[in-house]
């Protein structure tokens, strides 16, 4: 197994454990309560969109821990999180907390997104361009 994929799987395991601990559920449990479905959609979103895992890798991760899923189910859950994050804003806060520990650049990017001042955005672009 390539080293990059192994690191990704270790992060995926950490994310799953963190979600279970912070939400007080087991995302790998074969149940479909509304809360569990919503939390699982957040997990799928983090793994696929934030961690850049393929739908098949996310499926394999869940299957490894005992939750039977297909890549189509993962895709549906990723799309579902767009609605869930509006309805349950605390899940977006949990996602932010987890991602800040997994990816140090995440919190910086979140802060940049909040900037509305064009001159500040230009300064950031100049700094980034300087280091490329």
pLDDT digit string (tens) for 75-101? 999 999 999 999 999 999 999 999 988
**pLDDT at position 128:** 64
Residue ranges covered by each domain of the chain: 3-103
Residue 115 — pLDDT band, cuts 50, 70, 90? confident
**pLDDT at position 117:** 72
Q: Flag whether pLDDT at 4 surpasses 60.
A: no
Interhelix angle 104-113/89-102, rounded to 10 degrees, is 130
In CATH, 3-103 is 1.10.1750: yes
* Rg of the Cα atoms in the chain: 16
Give the residue, 5 or 9, on which the prediction is more confident.
9
How many CB atoms are located within 10 Å of the residue 70 CB? Answer: 13
**How far is Cα 109 from Cα 107, in angstroms, rounded to an integer?**
5
Task: Compute the average pLDDT of residues 28-50.
Answer: 96
């Amino acid at each position: 197994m390539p080293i990059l994929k192994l690191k990704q799987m270790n992060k995926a395991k950490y994310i799953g454990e963190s979600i279970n601990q912070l939400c007080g559920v087991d995302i790998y449990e074969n149940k479909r309560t509304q809360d569990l479905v919503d939390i699982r959609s957040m997990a799928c979103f983090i793994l696929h969109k934030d961690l850049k895992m393929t739908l098949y890798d996310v499926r394999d991760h869940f299957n490894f821990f005992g939750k039977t899923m297909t890549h189509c189910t993962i895709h549906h859950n990723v799309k579902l999180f767009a609605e869930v994050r509006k309805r349950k804003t605390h899940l977006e806060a949990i996602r932010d907390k987890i991602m800040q520990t997994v990816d140090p650049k995440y919190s910086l990017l979140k802060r940049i997104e909040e900037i509305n001042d064009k001159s500040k955005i230009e300064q950031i672009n100049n700094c980034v361009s300087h280091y490329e």
